[in-house]
Amino acid sequence: MAKPKESKAKNGGKRDAILQAAWGLIRHYGYSKTTIDDIAKRAKVGKGTVYIYFRSKTDIMLALTDLTNQHITQELERIAAEEKPPEERLRACVLYRIMTLFDLVNRYPHSEDVIAAILPEIVERLDRYVRRHGELLGQLVREGCVAGKLVSADPAATGQLLASLFEFLTPPYYRFKSRKAIERFTGEIVDLMLNGLKKKTN
């Protein structure tokens, strides 16, 4: 979950102050135990003010989800724009998304509580970002095909399939003993998939 910028809250942005307060409370106490009253008190606004900007606690959580995924998408766009071979950028994008999710869940112990509490809304919102990530990967696959390094009959569809890998390694991570273990496993899976796309030379 990306932390809202404190500078905006200090400048009087009530919406940002509410998000800042919610971020701190949910991170510390979990989604279920955090109430609108708690958020209003932490943000130093009236409860009615919270409802001016957000219809419910779920809306607040979705706004925080947007902040996180907008940051992730921006970083993926940056990686995709680097001056490196498309297959290298493709690998870097997939690994970045998976490891960022791992780090997020481990940094915030109540992440699973949030997912369990509002799963349908979270899934619907995340699907939009997954589609955007698939578009980015599809562009990289297309670049690789044009460069003669990759082969795909439908780069756009391939990109969307690769994007689904983002959701493959979801919490809990009880099968992995360390970050290094999941990073190694993820790298091997990504390499296996990319090897299937690489153009074979005689």
pLDDT beyond 70 at 111: no
| 75 or 190, which is more confident | 75
Give the model's confidence band at 11: pLDDT under 50 very low, under 70 low, under 90 confident, else very high: very low
166 confidence band (pLDDT: 50, 70, 90): low
pLDDT, tens digit (0-9, with 9 covering 90-100), for 112-158 = 677 666 668 888 888 899 999 999 999 999 999 999 999 999 999 99
* Higher pLDDT, residue 70 or 98: 70
Question: Which of the four pLDDT bands, split at 50, 70 and 90, describes residue 70?
Answer: very high
Lowest mean pLDDT among 110-114, 117-121, 167-171, 197-201: 167-171
Which of 66, 193, 63 lies closest to 132, judged by CA? Answer: 66
Q: What pLDDT does residue 47 have?
A: 95
Buried b (16+ CB within 10 A) or exposed e, 95-125: bbbbbbbbeebeebebbebbbebbeeebeeb
pLDDT at 9: 41
* 71-93 pLDDT per residue, tens: 999 999 999 999 999 999 999 99
pLDDT for the residue numbered 151: 92
| Helix (H) or strand (E) run with residue 79 in it | helix 57-80
Q: For 31-68, how does the pLDDT look when each residue is reduced to its tens digit (9 = 90+)?
A: 888 999 999 999 999 999 999 999 999 899 899 989 98
Cα–Cα nearest to 40, from 53, 27, 58: 53
Residue 101 CA to residue 53 CA, distance in Å, equals 28
Average pLDDT over the chain, rounded to an integer: 84
CB burial string 183-194: b at 16+ within 10 A, e below: eeebeebbeebb
User: Could you give the domains of the chain?
Assistant: 6-53 (1.10.10.60), 57-195 (1.10.357.10)
Lowest mean pLDDT among 22-26, 109-113, 137-141, 178-182: 109-113
pLDDT at residue 3 tops 60 = no
CA–CA dist 132, 190 (Å, integer): 19
pTM score, whole prediction? 0.79
Instruction: Write down the pLDDT at residue 48.
Output: 95
